[in-house]
Structure formats: C-alpha cells, structure tokens
Amino acid sequence: MDFGPRFLSEEQIAMREEVRKFAQRDVASRAAEIDRTAEFPWDLYKKMADMGLLALTLPEEVGGAAVNLVGSALIREEIARVSATVASLQAVSLEGSHFLVNHAPAHLRDKYLPRMMRGEIVSAFCLTEPTSGSDARGIRTRAVRDGDNWVITGSKQWVTLGAIAEYGVVICVTDPAKERGNVSAILVDLKNTPGIHIGKAEELAGLRGTKTAPIQFDNVRVPYTNLMGEEGQGLRLGLDQINKGRISVAASAVGIADGAFQAALRYSKERVQFGKPIFDFQGVQFKLAQMAMRIDAARLLYLTAASMQDKGEGSVQLASEAKLFASDSAAWITDEAVQIFGGYGYSKQYPVERYWRDAKIMQIFEGTNNIQHVIIAREVAKTLAA
C-alpha cells in the first residue's frame, strides 16, 4: 500500500515519481550486471548526481534540495526496490556530504563537497575495525599529535567504498588517557597520502558493487587542520546521524522486501501446477498475505520514525524498531519469495536470490539486530523509571 501521499508534499510526490521512472528505466536493467561483476556503476552514480539525488537532503545554501527524512527515505525505498546496491551508494554519498557540511573545516568542505555533489568522487566512513564492530569504544586506531600533523596508525575493516574512495573520515583515539571523549574524526586523503594500504575489495554475498575493503594506516601523517569538529567528538559526530541512518536502512529493507514480493506475486500468477496457477493454492496465498502485511507495517513504522525525526521529536527506540522490524521482515519475505519460486528461486535466472542476499546485510549494518534489541529494551526500561 502506498502511504507516501499522506506524508509528502506535491513537489516531493513528483520527485519520487521521477526517481521511480529512473529506477525502472535505468537501474533495473543494470541490477543483475552490477551484482555479477561487483563493479561500481559510475554512470548511474553520475546520473543520480545530475538528478540532484546526491544533494537531495543537503541545505539549499550549498546547492542541495533540503528534502526531509521522510522524502529521502521514500526515495531510497524506490531505488532499493530494483537495486539495493545503487540505493546504498546514494545513501552513503549523502551521509558523507552531510559530514562535510556539518563538521568539516571550510578548506576541506570547499575542496570535496562540490565534487561529491557532482558525482565525481566517493567518500568512506572508517569506523569498524577487525576487533571492534558494534563496540565502537573498542577502537584501537591511534592518532598522535606531532606538531602541525596527526600521525595515524591502525586498521579499519568493512569500509564501504574503501577501495575507491577519494577521502575517508577516520575515527581514531586521540587521547588514550581518557576513558570517554577520547575519540576524534580526522579526514584523510586516501589517494595521495603515504602509508595507506588499501586491501582488495571484499567478495560480498550482497550489496556487490559497494567496493567494501580493509584499510591499513601505517604512520600516516595528515594536517592537524583535517580534524572534523572538535577533538574528542568523533563518536558523538557519528552517533548524531545514527537514528537517521537506521531509518534509512529500514527504508532500503522495505524496498528489497517489496521488490521480492512483487516478483513472487507475478510468478505465482504465471506458474501453473496441477492445472492451475500456484497463486490459487491457499499455502501460497497465506505467504503472500503475510508478505504484504509485513511490508505495510514496516513502511508505516519507518515513515512514522522519519516524520518524528523531521519534527525534532526523534526517538531512539522508534528508529531502532524500524530498522529491526524492517530488516527482519525483509529477510523473511525474501526467503519466502525464494520458496514460492521453488528451484528457479535458487537460480540467477530470476532476481529473488539477489534480493535474498541483499536483505541479509540489512540485519547487520547500522548496528546489528542483536544490538537493536538491546537498545529497544533499554529505552523501554526507561519508561518504568519515568
């Protein structure tokens, strides 16, 4: 069910329709190829830039469209319905550009932001390490002040776009003596700085084309003025965007789920067994009904969370609930879609196996779903003390 008109302005509805046409016309025909080759689709990335999608939520004063979270989430869902990879590339670009707008010194913002908005370069957020994922306070990468420079040493893992990024925002410990407030964010030129070793892009099960790679920093020297925000604010700067990030993941998960559902629904009307379409069997109908219900519920949950965020009433609990429910639903729905397709569902002849693989990562990034359970439980517990 389309709840968009209840949340969007006429202008945003028109923009969503334009994105839907782009997704169906340009992205859908390339989705299988991107998945097969795991290559970054620069042509589609630049088309998104030309459409303003890489500046969608940026402030108008820097050339953005200032679209709110509801609008941007619905647009991410539209793209994810045909390619979760392309949807993720658009979202990661916006996150990187917002970091520049909100936290970068003017000289870095002026250097990188226009090129990001034009789709000429991509950036990376370097947080996760081989020994720290959800435990962001277990970061071991160090940045030591040496005159007018930082000297960075450490390793980052699972860096989205790490293999091709022009620059990265590296989260590292700058004051080991402190128990809290000891982590900072530093922008590093990944292309031209000595001491950086970028590993081979990972062979991922899903979201192929995101060029995820490990990065090693061996006594990497960068100017002190590359500090983002203030020293000791690194985790806070990242966590400021976490609610929005989880809502965005929920939107992508709904897009994946809906793409798989639509494919399964069409197939159930076409596939004939025992003299009739398999849709006519109650077991298949029950699966499809459950799929439709969970998609609608997940969509309403992320739209409500996004609407509250836009009104300045953002809820940590609701953002986590949206991410958790939408991603778990996507995993279940894509699995059921494969079942409806039978043997064909396990082949690359149809897209449902790709949806199935793409859905899994939605349960992992922006905080694993186990972590979301912990967050929700803690938020619920606070209501007893109120």
Give the residue numbers annotated as catalytic, written as ranges: 366
Residue showing tokens 């006429």? 10
Beta strands 123-126 and 167-173: pairing type?
Answer: parallel
- The CA distance from 278 to 204, in Å, is 33
Residue 282: both structure tokens together? 């109650």
Distance CA 305, CA 315 (A): 7
Q: How far apart are CA 317 and CA 373, in angstroms?
A: 10
Long-range contacts of 239-245 (CB under 8 A, 24+ apart): 241/95, 241/98, 241/99, 242/319, 242/366, 242/367, 243/305, 243/309, 243/314, 243/315, 243/316, 243/319, 244/69, 244/309, 244/319, 245/95, 245/366
Are 353 and 346 in contact by the 8 Å Cβ rule? The answer is yes
Rounded CA gap, 157 and 67, in Å?
32
What are the respective helix, strand and coil percentages of the chain, to the nearest 5?
55, 15, 30
